[in-house]
Structure 1
Amino acid sequence: MDLLALADFNLVARHGGFGRAARETGRPKATLSRRVAELEADLGLRLFERGARLLKLTQEGRALYERTGALLAEIDETAAALASGGDRPRGRLRISAPLLFSQTAMGTLAAGFARAYPDVRLEVTTEDRPVDMVEEGYDLVIRVNPDPDENLVGRIFLRDRLVVVAAPHLARPADGAPVPAIVRPVGDQATWQVAGAPDIAIDPILRLSSLVMVRDAVRAGVGAGCLPASVVSHDLAAGRLVRWGDVAGPEIALWALYPSRRLLSARVSAFLEYLKAAFPKGTPDELAAYLAP
């Protein structure tokens, strides 16, 4: 297999078309088209479905791209590292992180990482949905309690827990009556299960998609809320909120994940070590430190 043709195929697949790949890389469009056609002939496979305005990977083309794209990137990174006389992290690092973690800590973390590794171009996007790391070009994803995936490996770097909180003037009903509650618009929850105490019946009066919005509404005193301990740590310490109990069930675990088939690049390894140094104990209080009191 011609590695140059394979590299050109990956360029076209990554950019979504011959014209776009040519504009982004400065390579002649005709050359890219010819190289991909030669690769298809060598393999005896069609790698792209070609339409008047649409270029789409075939099933075989997608499989080839997923299995060779990361390898070619690692070859380029190794060559660049050797040429520069070392393995100092460099190049683009794309990370997907959940909304709450991004709002609370990621900006500060990104700034510190940029100072420590000036040759890395860090790009962070906020996504609560599962992402396809290969298809969408991410080097690392941060996820909360992710489902098992044999294609991904990683480590837990932070743990949190859910607590039920309310403004001091809002009394917890002693007779089991529903309490006005601010919840997220997910599911149809009727109670909060509190460890070592009776369940709390709730009457959702507000449904807010962001946990930061939920916290602010709970602060305003219109209802109770179920929130990560890190988000309300300062409010509890200052007496702006009171704690009704810890939610029963599994803890919140934040994972840093990367593809299992991909050798760790220097920049991914550097970011993992940076996370470890930022959260040495991995406790809610360490995350709370990133929130202004």
Structure 2
Amino acid sequence: MDNRAGEMMVFVQVVEAGSFSEAARQLMMTPSTVSKLIARLESRLGIRLVERSTRRLLLTREGEFYYERSQRLLADLDETEQQIAHGGAEPEGLIRVNSSVSFGAAALEPILPAFWEAYPKIVIDLSLSDEVVDLYLERTDVAIRVGRLPDSNLVARKIGETKRRIVASPAYLERRGAPQTPEDLLNHNCIGFNFRRANPVWPMREGGRIVERMLSGSLLTNNGETIRRMAVAGVGIGRIADYHVRGPIARGELVEVLADSAITEADEIHALFRGAQLLPARVRAFLDFAVPRLQRFLAEEPTAIAPPVT
């Protein structure tokens, strides 16, 4: 009898448990039975999925691919059976979503109440972090990424583009003076990011050429939302995405500085997910609901923006 779904289930359990013995305990099988099932699976596929030469269970490249596909297939199978059992009811279940702190707070969180009105049986497991997560290791269904995408087998749906603005509060500028040239930033408290992928310099136009200013300040942080709040509080000058600051600028809490000197190359924003053809219905529903609304959010023009300080 063909029991590929059962083999997939055992394989996924082994990967997530981290060992054959722990998976056997959770499945109420003997370790030898689990080992034989995985060996039979590898024999049928003609490829090694798990490296057994180390104390820590490691997947081969093919094993990682098979694990990711098995997860989706088993989730889709479970969802199909649940919907059939409930008369073809609407999508339900858990979706793990990751986004940067600022974009999540400004754009994603506000649309969730309407999403739950449309899909009340879907649970969102939302993580906000400006660190780049591994969708496979973190078992993330959808990740909102800002910036250039690395080559991968992930699928991307473009949400839009954003530019970075250099901003400070009126109180800070009154106290310290507004910078007139990029060189003036050397005498200011410039708030920056602390993660490894962050660019430690701000590219600027100066005298007809592009220069990169290595700046410093009293605060380094791992998310743009903290930079925005500290800038509003008058701590220093920040360089963050325009969707972050258009509200505070419109309310007069922040003003843009050095607008003519700042390099405002656009950063693309994408929704990343694993595979297009085998998406569970709940993930597809989330993408189809969220992406158009996030696109409209980025396309909105800020109102009553104060002119930049020069």
Q: Assess same fold via TM > 0.5.
A: yes
**Secondary structure, in 3 states, of the residue corresponding to 2:200?**
coil
Give the counterpart of 2:19 among 13, 17, 22: 17
Call closer, same or farther: CA 1:90–1:56 in 2, change over 3 Å. same
Deviations 1:213-252 (A, max 9, x none): 3223323434322122222223222323222227434323
Provide the identity percentage.
31
**Secondary structure, in 3 states, of the residue corresponding to 1:279?**
helix
Distance in 1 (alpha carbons) for counterparts of 2:255 and 2:212: 15
Letter in 2 for 1:171: G
Give the counterpart of 1:253 among 268, 284, 291: 268
Letter in 2 for 1:96: N
Unmatched 5+ stretches in structure 1: 289-293
Distance in 2 (alpha carbons) for counterparts of 1:287 and 1:7: 50
How is 1:128-277 mapped onto 2 (pairs within 5 angstroms)?
128-168=130-170, 169=174, 170-174=176-180, 177-179=183-185, 180=188, 181-185=190-194, 186-189=198-201, 191-193=203-205, 203-209=215-221, 210-244=223-257, 245=259, 247-260=262-275, 262-276=277-291
RMSD: 3.6
State the partner residue of 1:28.
28
**Secondary structure, in 3 states, of the residue corresponding to 1:8?**
helix
Call closer, same or farther: CA 1:11–1:189 in 2, change over 3 Å. same
1:184 CA displacement: 2.4
TM-score normalised by the chain length of structure 2: 0.74
**Secondary structure, in 3 states, of the residue corresponding to 1:151?**
coil
Distance in 1 (alpha carbons) for counterparts of 2:13 and 2:181: 65
**Secondary structure, in 3 states, of the residue corresponding to 1:125?**
strand
* Count of paired positions: 285
Distance in 1 (alpha carbons) for counterparts of 2:162 and 2:84: 41
Call closer, same or farther: CA 1:114–1:51 in 2, change over 3 Å. farther
1:143 CA displacement: 0.6
Give the counterpart of 2:296 among 265, 277, 281: 281
**Secondary structure, in 3 states, of the residue corresponding to 1:240?**
coil
State the partner residue of 1:92.
94
Please tell me whether the aligned partners of residues 159 and 282 of structure 1 are also in contact (alpha carbons under 8 angstroms).
no
Call closer, same or farther: CA 1:184–1:19 in 2, change over 3 Å. same
TM-score normalised by the chain length of structure 1: 0.77
